[in-house]
Chains A and B, each alone.
Chain A
């Protein structure tokens, strides 16, 4: 029961944050010097053309009204029209979001499932060679810019060793349209095409590793610190005094309370993951939101840019909500008190 009220509180809060986000984005876009219509049409357009575009974009109405229109459109899922592609921004984004989403999900999976065990190993063998190795890895991973790592991986695995593909989601020759979920891995399984699944996975590996490395390192460090912290707690010493065997102390008593910091940090890391995804997508020619976002930015296609920002922001908020819920599930103190 207390879990339910905890859940509801978190959801309401996330909704509020999204509204706030929409306000910030909107006002940045509108309240800045420069005329979007003029920028879109270029210096050679006539005054009437500019005025017409302004009217169609609703730029001549008062600011508050513009915001209302924006919110209404937003709540209906309408992000406006892109000046560049002249299609609904919705359609543009829908096509590209799935690719980004799949990449990011795969990355999170890699980062967590590899990073946390590494941290546990490092904590258990503290100050001995496994610990040093993990820490070196974590530091190097954290300081290497993701685009640089992407380039290096491309160079190494693609050009030098020729073992993994370097661009795109599937080989050029392969025909497959990700229909149902937009996620190659899932759709290919649903369609029973194991060959597609295999290729999709191969194509995900390099960009996934490039993107996940830094976060993996962070996960390892945080888990290690958290495990060490927990190992110093009185209750672990108490368990030792009662003769609970070491194996159990580590795998049960220390592990569970240690999960919370890496989970929480994962939520914060997510912001840099979304940003990093942009860069990695470019290097690997991954057909995600990044290419679309960059193009529309350089062309000052405001509706599109706002769409991309809103979607990224919403994605971020959703993930953090999910993480909050997971944390509440693992740690009863958070459920009951709202904090540790």
Chain B
């Protein structure tokens, strides 16, 4: 079975202050339909760039895709004309953003923002819905992310909501048009640990109930253990290791992965591996 999303040999370079840096070297990863995949790495490893390249959000310049292909549902996204690429956003693949504080437009209500997104997604899908039906769908999705009073939330401005609620709104936005692939960018890192746990559980439930494919970008190994079946480890722009979650944690092959795992503080003291980060 070929994967829903397949990145093959992706290479990207960046040009800043007159200097060019190779940011991604020949990165490959697959996300099968209905699977939950994690992309792990520290800051600067290139995981965000990979994610942006998949979503088509990389600005070129200063970035430049120098090689590779990104297949979605059999089509190479990098060869698609812009209009078709844009058509996929929100409808086929959706992003759940990292920072709920800054990802919502502060001067418009939730209803306004979600309604607008839905309206244009409908247009791209060729579906017709009137304003009232749109609001019904908005409230429906807000209920799915476990908001108790969807109509009050939708009438609010972002500043009136708590961080956890805002993150749930972001998830709801991603689900509006029933995408097949959800890309979660460090979900919940901007929140406190308890709220983050709730959000992650919500994500996992939603994904399993709806059979969505999930690509989770994170630097938090605990999150990986909880939510992913398969892991890709990135360092300095390359995929250094990949495998099933359990296998990676029990028997890491690369030095980097070992160091990453060793870096996690343990309650019971002592590290399993003594290595130096390469």
Q: Which residues of A line the B interface, CB within 8 A?
A: 233-245, 248, 252-253, 256-257, 330-333, 336-337
| From B90, B94, B97, B157, contact of A234 by CB (8 A) | B97
At the interface, yes or no: B107 with Cβ under 8 Å from chain A? yes
**Does the CB pair A241–B106 fall under 8 Å?**
no
Min CB distance, A252 to chain B, in Å? 8
Please encode chain B, from 82 to 116, with 1 for each CB lying within 8 Å of some chain A CB and 0 for all others: 00001101110011010100111111100001001
Min CB distance, A259 to chain B, in Å? 9
Query: Which residues from chain B contact A237 at a C-beta distance below 8 Å?
Result: 57, 103
| Interface residues of chain A: helix, strand, loop or mixed (majority) | helix
List 4 A-B pairs, minimum CB-CB distance, nearest first. A243-B89, A234-B102, A235-B105, A242-B90
| From B107, B108, B159, B173, contact of A242 by CB (8 A) | B173
**Does the CB pair A332–B107 fall under 8 Å?**
yes
Q: List 5 A-B contacts (CB under 8 A).
A: A235-B102, A238-B173, A244-B120, A256-B108, A332-B107
Query: Which residues from chain A contact B116 at a C-beta distance below 8 Å?
Result: 244, 248, 252
**Does the CB pair B105–A336 fall under 8 Å?**
no
Query: Which residues from chain B contact A333 at a C-beta distance below 8 Å?
Result: 106-107, 157, 159
| From A235, A244, A252, A331, contact of B104 by CB (8 A) | A235
Query: Which residues from chain A contact B120 at a C-beta distance below 8 Å?
Result: 243-245, 248
The distance in angstroms between the C-alpha atoms of A284 and B254, with both chains bound, is 81
**Does the CB pair A244–B107 fall under 8 Å?**
no
**Does the CB pair A243–B87 fall under 8 Å?**
yes
| Interface residues of chain B: helix, strand, loop or mixed (majority) | mixed
Min CB distance, B37 to chain A, in Å? 19
**Does the CB pair B103–A242 fall under 8 Å?**
no
Min CB distance, B43 to chain A, in Å? 17
A-B contact count (CB 8 A): 76
The distance in angstroms between the C-alpha atoms of A65 and B170, with both chains bound, is 64
Query: Which residues from chain B contact A238 at a C-beta distance below 8 Å?
Result: 95, 97, 103-104, 170, 173
Min CB distance, B259 to chain A, in Å? 31
The distance in angstroms between the C-alpha atoms of A22 and B94, with both chains bound, is 60
The distance in angstroms between the C-alpha atoms of A245 and B119, with both chains bound, is 11
With A233-B102, A235-B103 as known contacts, state yes or no: A241 contacts B90, CB within 8 Å: yes
| From A243, A331, A336, contact of B121 by CB (8 A) | A243
At the interface, yes or no: B246 with Cβ under 8 Å from chain A? no
**Does the CB pair A256–B99 fall under 8 Å?**
no
The residue of chain A having its C-beta at the shortest distance from the C-beta of B95 within the complex is A241
With A234-B97, A256-B107, A336-B159 as known contacts, state yes or no: A242 contacts B55, CB within 8 Å: no
Min CB distance, B125 to chain A, in Å? 10
The distance in angstroms between the C-alpha atoms of A235 and B98, with both chains bound, is 11
The residue of chain A having its C-beta at the shortest distance from the C-beta of B97 within the complex is A238
**Does the CB pair B86–A337 fall under 8 Å?**
no
**Does the CB pair A243–B159 fall under 8 Å?**
no
Q: A238-B95, A242-B95, A257-B105 are in contact. List 14 more A-B contacts (CB 8 A).
A: A234-B103, A238-B170, A239-B105, A240-B57, A241-B57, A241-B90, A241-B97, A243-B91, A244-B120, A256-B108, A257-B106, A332-B107, A333-B106, A336-B157
Query: Which residues from chain A contact B90 at a C-beta distance below 8 Å?
Result: 241-243
The distance in angstroms between the C-alpha atoms of A252 and B105, with both chains bound, is 11
The residue of chain B having its C-beta at the shortest distance from the C-beta of A233 within the complex is B102
The residue of chain B having its C-beta at the shortest distance from the C-beta of A332 within the complex is B157
Min CB distance, B94 to chain A, in Å? 7
Min CB distance, B140 to chain A, in Å? 17
The distance in angstroms between the C-alpha atoms of A329 and B157, with both chains bound, is 13
The residue of chain A having its C-beta at the shortest distance from the C-beta of B88 within the complex is A243
Min CB distance, B163 to chain A, in Å? 14
Query: Which residues from chain A contact B86 at a C-beta distance below 8 Å?
Result: 243
| From A234, A243, A330, A337, contact of B107 by CB (8 A) | A330
| From B102, B104, B124, contact of A243 by CB (8 A) | B124
The distance in angstroms between the C-alpha atoms of A235 and B104, with both chains bound, is 5
With A242-B90, A243-B117 as known contacts, state yes or no: A331 contacts B105, CB within 8 Å: no
The distance in angstroms between the C-alpha atoms of A292 and B97, with both chains bound, is 61
The distance in angstroms between the C-alpha atoms of A238 and B266, with both chains bound, is 36
The residue of chain A having its C-beta at the shortest distance from the C-beta of B116 within the complex is A244
The distance in angstroms between the C-alpha atoms of A252 and B115, with both chains bound, is 14
The distance in angstroms between the C-alpha atoms of A241 and B103, with both chains bound, is 11
At the interface, yes or no: B131 with Cβ under 8 Å from chain A? no
The residue of chain A having its C-beta at the shortest distance from the C-beta of B157 within the complex is A332
The distance in angstroms between the C-alpha atoms of A333 and B158, with both chains bound, is 9
At the interface, yes or no: B264 with Cβ under 8 Å from chain A? no
Query: Which residues from chain A contact B105 at a C-beta distance below 8 Å?
Result: 235-236, 239, 253, 257
Query: Which residues from chain B contact A252 at a C-beta distance below 8 Å?
Result: 116
**Does the CB pair A242–B89 fall under 8 Å?**
yes
Min CB distance, B258 to chain A, in Å? 34
With A332-B107, A336-B159 as known contacts, state yes or no: A241 contacts B99, CB within 8 Å: no
At the interface, yes or no: B160 with Cβ under 8 Å from chain A? yes
The distance in angstroms between the C-alpha atoms of A257 and B102, with both chains bound, is 13
**Does the CB pair A331–B94 fall under 8 Å?**
no
Min CB distance, B277 to chain A, in Å? 30
Min CB distance, A95 to chain B, in Å? 43
